[in-house]
Amino acid sequence: MIVIAGPCVIEDRETVFKVAKAAKKLQSAHPEHTFIFKASFDKANRSSLSSYRGPGIEKGLEILREVKEKFSLPVTTDIHEPWQAEEVAEVVDVIQIPAFLCRQTDLLVAAARTGKTVNIKKGQFMAPWDMENAVEKVRKSGGKEVWTTERGTTFGYNNLVVDFRSIPIMKEFSDRVIFDATHSVQKPGGLGRVSGGDREFVPYLSRAAVSVGVDGLFFETHPEPDKALSDGPNMVPLKEFKPLIGKLFRLEKSVRELFNGR
């Protein structure tokens, strides 16, 4: 399996390195799986103008490069504008397309032209079968490997629901399908000027995704989520991340043995 993990946004080196160190230990303990470190240099779609967005592309990529070199982990981050693709591709192994921007043709084309793996997060407003068009944009623009990520669908106001049928549906046209276990429990704008979330449901939804046969899992994790500068309510506390991952890997092995990869 692929496990994408890290804090929502780059806050400081200390926090980033603490999470990356934990991911590296898990990688060493589970070499059969692939851990990818994730953090954003800019959160361009925050609820409020006053919300912390990140250190910016120059400083952010510098820290991500340090993570890659210091911990020997592949890294990923998201881009919001086409001009960012080439610069980000010099550092990251996977370029992430945010859910709100999954239909932005120029952004998808720019990401594809870097030659990097492109992970497109399914928009909260998108049916899973409609993501085939986004994948096609990347492939026809030179993309070599395209992943899609399920992260919940808008369900009324300030709420999301996960339709696990989306995983086998998107497997039909994606190289890999990832399940974003933490954004799927988010409550967009649920606290007024910031988003809320129900992190207690992360273990349940991630177990469901593994049982359905997902190729990878995405978690935002932080040493102190309640003090995090972005997405704290839906992030997994770092101390709980290791035992959760261990259980999910055991479940994945059982599912694979029972259903022979189906």
> What is the CATH classification number for the domain harbouring 113?
3.20.20.70
Rounded to whole angstroms, the Cα distance separating 149 from 34 reads 16
Position 50 scores a pLDDT of 85
Report which of 216, 242, 252, 219 is spatially closest to residue 26, judged by C-alpha positions. Answer: 242
Rounded to whole angstroms, the Cα distance separating 171 from 127 reads 14
What b/e string do you get for 158-181 counting C-beta neighbours within 10 Å, with b at 16 or more?
Answer: eebebebebbebbbebbbbbbbbb
Q: In the structure encoding, which two tokens stand for residue 123, read together?
A: 């928009």
Position 192 scores a pLDDT of 73
Cα three-residue angle 25-27-31, rounded to 5 degrees: 135
Position 260 scores a pLDDT of 74
Structural domain including 81 reads 2-259
- 3-class secondary-structure state, position 148: strand
Q: In the structure encoding, which two tokens stand for residue 79, read together?
A: 């881009």
Rounded to whole angstroms, the Cα distance separating 40 from 198 reads 21
How many folded domains does the chain comprise? 1
- Name the DSSP class of 139: H
Q: In the structure encoding, which two tokens stand for residue 133, read together?
A: 């068009």
The stretches of the chain forming alpha helices (DSSP H) are: 13-29, 57-71, 84-89, 105-112, 131-140, 166-171, 202-212, 238-259
Position 127 scores a pLDDT of 98
Below-50 pLDDT ranges, the chain: none
